[in-house]
Structure 1
Amino acid sequence: MHPVVAQVTARIAERSEHTRSAYLERVSAAAGDAPARSGMACSNLAHGFAACSGSDRLAIRGLVKPGVAIVSAYNDLLSAHQPLHEYPDWIKAAVREAGGVAQFAGGVPAMCDGITQGRAGMELSLFSREVIAMATGIALSHEMFDAALLLGVCDKIVPGLLIGALAFGHLPAILVPAGPMTSGLPNKDKARVRQLYAEGKATREDLLAAESASYHGPGTCTFYGTANSNQMVVEVMGLHLPGASFVHPGTPLRRALTEQAGRRAVELAREKASISQVVDVKSVVNGVVALLATGGSTNLSLHLPAVAAAAGIQLSWDDFADLSAAVPLLARVYPNGSADINHFQAAGGVQYLVGELLDAGFLHPDVQTVAGPGLDRYRQEPFLDGDELVWRDGPRTSLDPAVLRPVAEPFAAEGGLRMLSGNLGRAVIKVSAVAPEHRVVQAPARVFTSQDGFQRAFRAGELDTDVIVVIRNQGPQANGMPELHGLTPALGVLLDRGHRIALITDGRMSGASGKIPSAIQLTPEAATGGPLARVRDGDVIRLDAEQGVLEVLVGAEELAGRELVDGPPHELDWMGTGRELFGALRRAVGPADEGASVFGTLTPEHFAAPVNAWK
């Protein structure tokens, strides 16, 4: 193993010894030798098969065959989840063939950040992860099942499904994706039209034509945002079947992989190969390494700590920082380059990436996966030999070095994410798409408390200068930590005009955040009295992504003595678009560097009331 990977892994294991042991004890107590439903009273069991017929009814009643839960994020609003409509019927037939019985245990919500960007609904986005986790828990709480298939793809959906499944850590679980849509309008061309529209040089019709040519059919959006980062990470963590991430929907191979997931779930149920065995310290580190090596979404710096915590593992931003300093950047996929995820797959995809990282000692090979022991299995890619699904060795050389490179010739010596710290707190920055000459910015601040305020100032020409844009009160306790990707076109215009530009916020940016240096997810957030709440217009701020520094050049005594002038929004401001339903989550959520989760690692300290300096 690479010494830094080994050191960080050991550190996480030591830090997590108590919480991981407590988690595994709970898992062990929930496990049993017979099908879960065998201990049910007759009335309970009868309710469980009342709607079934034929062989499935007999199988459930017989208390012998493994029961497989299907938990799905299907809806036909999201292109990435629309293909999941057909999966339950395919899975039920495959599970039946393998000697089990599958039931659709429950659906979970799936919202699209692409639809809600810049709108009130985006303030529900991060918390939808917790809702999905709870909905998954409800689906599995019937205790009818010996394994679970988790159908989902995007943003908060995959982490939410995982957190919920890990609460039932004695069960095997496989994540079942839908795959990306085919390539449309190149992402770089789409971004160009967005900037022209922000400048008033393109019409709404021009913009809509470009967007619809980019997002044009069923499947995941093709840029390397959170959805595709999810798929990359969970496959390298061994939670997908090998090669399942980036196969197009609507193809025979996609169906074959889905059916095989059902058959494999039956095998895992018989083997008692639980998800708690797959998600351990080594697999979590493997997930972080894959994210860093590909310049993936900043959102995973929230989701991976939250998922790890659900398995009793304490993953910190310091772990990300130390791994990022050692792991080379091997991929260039938009917004880190011009290629899309289909080009990445064609260049060698996950199989080539895993092989390179394994051979260089950056990934732990000795892990349990849903395909069996050892990560070597994930060097292989699936294909159809006639009607039979088989695997073969993936490419050992990159088929396009402009998209995917070996460890010996990386795009950069360090990973795509870095951590910043200073007298403003701690933040995350994605540097893989930021040109080196833009990674250090020192300029006066212009402070806003809303995206609308920023847009008005931009349109009025007030920001046509060197400036560090501060947008505060966007953290999890303030308003649910929305993504602020709608700022990107205007910020891009300012950068292209030759100005020194950066963004600092306690909110999030999209997984598509790109060329603007953006210190995001700043913690402590302004709504809890963090230092960002004391920054004023004109304060000089230094953002240095090379040295990992984020500071306002104001004396400590002066900064601490300033009054808090624009507190978090009042609860009455959160009426409408369902936001009033999430007040309890805003009050209970933890800090960004712990995953912005309401669950935590479920230690007594977690249940203490959060600190709020405004009260």
Structure 2
Amino acid sequence: MVGRLNPVVEAVTARIEERSRGPRAAYIEMIRARRPSTYARSRLTEGNLAHQSAGCAVIEKAQILGAGWPVIGIITAYNDMLSAHAPFESYPQLIREAAREVHAVAQVAGGVPAMCDGVTQGQEGMELSLFSRDVIAMASAVGLSHDTFDAALHLGVCDKIVPGLVIAALRFGWLPSIFVPAGPMPSGLSNPEKVRVRQLFAEGKVGREALLKAEAESYHSQGTCTFYGTANSNQMLMEVMGLHLPGAAFPNPGTELRAALTRAATHRAAAITAQGKDYRPAGEMVDARSVVNGIVGLMATGGSTNHALHIPAIAAAAGLCVTLADFAELSGVTPLLARIYPNGPADVNHFHAAGGMSFLISQLLEAGLLHGDALGVAGPISGYAQEPVLSDGRLIWRPAPAESGDLEVLRPAGNPFSEEGGLRLLTGTLGEGVSKVSAVKPSHRFVEAPAIVFESQEALKAAFDAGKLDRDFVAVVRFQGAAANGMPELHGLTPVLGVLQDRGHKVALVTDGRMSGASGKIPSAIHLGPEAAHGGPISKVWDGDVIRLDAEAGRLDILVDPAEFHARAPAEFRPNRGPAGLGRELFDLFRMNVSSAATGASPFNFLGPRS
């Protein structure tokens, strides 16, 4: 059942449409001008076609050169170092076979890089992480620029990979696009136990051997990491935005159901080309309603803070202007329906077993919080409140469960964990940032304490190891924004600050950097802008300044005389503080041209001149 649309959801959608009127119209004109009148390869010369088909099997070659089958381009993020992407090794063959079943050809159009934030956390390579999103978008564009495809399948799961693939899919918005995930690994060591060992290690109470054992038992097989970080938030986002088949997000890899969903995605891609009767170009399908649905899904599940960067960047690729105020307003009317680690002990497999995406979508539709008339690759979003199952070996969809299987993990809209969503916009004399509060106890959401200023997470850890942080304080970690060093995640600070909070200290984190979907129980203000490298207020904070972080009221203020604070010179930004290496110097162009965090920290300029 679809309830009457919530008036706030309706109003925010209308405002996005109004402020985006010019860029969206130009975008729609661009993709409609590219709509093919026949198969895309008909534009190619004989020499072009010969090159396209030269490496194909005989049946594909015959169809490309002379017959009438559509061609599906595959963009893959496969590599066998990432557990989440290793299953994609076998997907192209499965997709080729499925395409033949419906008289279509499938070809790998290109591969994109896929780095693992879990491997690079706290390491120098993490400085490339955020910008890898934009490299992935460009690499996807290179693959699709052969301009010979009638639809596209995008194989990706993890943090920056899916947003990069979506940006590219929207810039090739005349093509129908379907996203094909791989699923989460089976559950391993429980999340509370993993956190306990991490904090014991941070305190020096267990050694590296115990820590490695716990980590290896947590991340133990092929598939996405099972906590609700950016990777699994991506899968939720793709489903509520309609870029997945219903229920594709969370079946495990290597199962018959997962293979059946991949075959079904291939069949569907062949059915929605411009040559068929149900043409679904991605750029027209994804509109303001889709983006609002994505934000609502993020709030209802307490998803990754990284999507406060990615959703504005994705929206801009479709000519849509989304602001952090839109996030805050939607969060205010969206109940928190899921508790998945770090917001609770359960992992994403528990969420899926309790009813998963079908139950979540059914509840949000019934509460009037989703645009049920927004389009997805399988039909309107109102039809996504169903789950896939195998019946006698055949893939079918059945209605979402009427009740949650575990109220400690997933709840109905009438009985939420919280009346509001998991993300807050913070504004005040220190600028504008976001705070993930879904994992923070209400008693910890207000902190007023002296600042201790750091310019790296390593410096904060060193101060902790030296015993200098056993007190109330606000950690200000600056020069961590996109223009400074690429905005690496500061996930490594969570255990340290968690230990201090557990000791009874009032602690908080204020930074122009990121904390990711693994942001834990510490109150924080992240993505703070303007960032320190651009002379933002955070660059003027001194040790001992009293800072007030009030996540409930949405305020972040420095309690210093305004005239004195304004007169201070910003701390000097030294763009070459660290040594070159690991390719970081190759990304100077990105750092010099990146937009603010509030607009997606993007080097692309899809919406016209920046303010």
Aligned to 1:166: 170
Contact kept in structure 2, 1:35 and 1:63, CA below 8 Å: no
CA distance in structure 2 between the partners assigned to 1:46 and 1:429 by the alignment:
54
Displacement of 1:96:
1.2
One-letter amino acid of the counterpart of residue 134, structure 1: M
Deviations 1:556-585 (A, max 9, x none): 221121122331422x73510110110000
Instruction: State the secondary structure of the residue aligned to 1:209.
Output: helix
Aligned to 2:507: 501
Contact kept in structure 1, 2:182 and 2:252, CA below 8 Å: yes
Instruction: State the secondary structure of the residue aligned to 2:272.
Output: helix
Contact kept in structure 2, 1:306 and 1:597, CA below 8 Å: yes
Moved more, 377-386 or 245-254: 377-386
One-letter amino acid of the counterpart of residue 343, structure 1: H
Deviations 1:497-552 (A, max 9, x none): 00000000000002111100011000100000001000000000000001000011
RMSD, matched Cα: 1.0
The residue correspondences of 1:188-267 to structure 2 (distance < 5 A) are 188-267=192-271
Is the counterpart of residue 485 in structure 1 residue 491 in structure 2? Answer: yes
One-letter amino acid of the counterpart of residue 290, structure 1: G
Within the candidate set 308, 314, 318, 1:301 is matched to 308
CA distance in structure 2 between the partners assigned to 1:171 and 1:275 by the alignment:
6
Is the counterpart of residue 366 in structure 1 residue 368 in structure 2? Answer: no
Aligned to 1:613: none
One-letter amino acid of the counterpart of residue 276, structure 1: G
Displacement of 1:424:
0.7
Aligned to 2:69: 65
Displacement of 1:367:
1.2
CA distance in structure 2 between the partners assigned to 1:217 and 1:198 by the alignment:
26
One-letter amino acid of the counterpart of residue 585, structure 2: E
Contact kept in structure 1, 2:28 and 2:284, CA below 8 Å: no
Is the counterpart of residue 565 in structure 1 residue 571 in structure 2? Answer: yes
One-letter amino acid of the counterpart of residue 104, structure 2: G
Distance 1:233 1:533, change over 3 A: same
Aligned to 1:340: 347
Contact kept in structure 2, 1:306 and 1:600, CA below 8 Å: no
CA distance in structure 2 between the partners assigned to 1:146 and 1:295 by the alignment:
36
Contact kept in structure 2, 1:239 and 1:278, CA below 8 Å: no
Is the counterpart of residue 319 in structure 1 residue 323 in structure 2? Answer: no
The residue correspondences of 1:261-280 to structure 2 (distance < 5 A) are 261-269=265-273, 270=276, 271-280=278-287
Within the candidate set 186, 194, 199, 2:190 is matched to 186
CA distance in structure 2 between the partners assigned to 1:537 and 1:39 by the alignment:
64
Give the TM-score normalised by the residue count of structure 2: 0.98
Is the counterpart of residue 594 in structure 1 residue 602 in structure 2? Answer: no
Deviations 1:76-113 (A, max 9, x none): 00000000100000001111111110101000000000
Within the candidate set 94, 119, 123, 1:119 is matched to 123
Instruction: State the secondary structure of the residue aligned to 2:582.
Output: coil
CA distance in structure 2 between the partners assigned to 1:286 and 1:600 by the alignment:
24
One-letter amino acid of the counterpart of residue 318, structure 2: A
Contact kept in structure 2, 1:23 and 1:311, CA below 8 Å: yes
5+ residue gaps, structure 1, are 609-615
Aligned to 1:389: 395
CA distance in structure 2 between the partners assigned to 1:263 and 1:546 by the alignment:
48
Aligned to 1:556: 562
CA distance in structure 2 between the partners assigned to 1:130 and 1:299 by the alignment:
14
Contact kept in structure 2, 1:237 and 1:369, CA below 8 Å: yes
Instruction: State the secondary structure of the residue aligned to 1:469.
Output: strand
Is the counterpart of residue 107 in structure 1 residue 116 in structure 2? Answer: no
Aligned to 2:524: 518
Deviations 1:282-338 (A, max 9, x none): 010000000000100000110000000000010110000000011110111100011
CA distance in structure 1 between the partners assigned to 2:101 and 2:549 by the alignment:
58
CA distance in structure 1 between the partners assigned to 2:139 and 2:403 by the alignment:
43
5+ residue gaps, structure 2, are none
CA distance in structure 1 between the partners assigned to 2:24 and 2:543 by the alignment:
46
Is the counterpart of residue 449 in structure 1 residue 455 in structure 2? Answer: yes
Contact kept in structure 2, 1:431 and 1:545, CA below 8 Å: yes
Aligned to 1:80: 84
Instruction: State the secondary structure of the residue aligned to 2:547.
Output: strand
Displacement of 1:600:
3.4
Instruction: State the secondary structure of the residue aligned to 1:437.
Output: helix
Displacement of 1:602:
4.2
One-letter amino acid of the counterpart of residue 587, structure 2: F
Contact kept in structure 2, 1:335 and 1:514, CA below 8 Å: yes
Displacement of 1:477:
0.2
Displacement of 1:376:
2.3
Runs of 4+ with >4 A deviation = none
Displacement of 1:63:
5.3
Contact kept in structure 1, 2:321 and 2:607, CA below 8 Å: no
Is the counterpart of residue 90 in structure 1 residue 98 in structure 2? Answer: no
Contact kept in structure 2, 1:237 and 1:278, CA below 8 Å: no
Displacement of 1:384:
0.9
One-letter amino acid of the counterpart of residue 41, structure 1: T
Contact kept in structure 2, 1:180 and 1:247, CA below 8 Å: yes
CA distance in structure 2 between the partners assigned to 1:36 and 1:510 by the alignment:
40
Within the candidate set 13, 28, 35, 2:32 is matched to 28
Deviations 1:253-308 (A, max 9, x none): 10010111111100011232110122100010000000000100000110000000
Instruction: State the secondary structure of the residue aligned to 2:560.
Output: coil
Instruction: State the secondary structure of the residue aligned to 1:240.
Output: coil
CA distance in structure 2 between the partners assigned to 1:546 and 1:273 by the alignment:
42
One-letter amino acid of the counterpart of residue 48, structure 1: Q
Aligned to 1:175: 179
Displacement of 1:28:
0.5
Displacement of 1:52:
1.4
Contact kept in structure 2, 1:24 and 1:276, CA below 8 Å: yes
One-letter amino acid of the counterpart of residue 236, structure 2: M
Identity of aligned residues (%): 59
Displacement of 1:388:
1.1
Contact kept in structure 1, 2:78 and 2:111, CA below 8 Å: yes
CA distance in structure 2 between the partners assigned to 1:63 and 1:470 by the alignment:
63
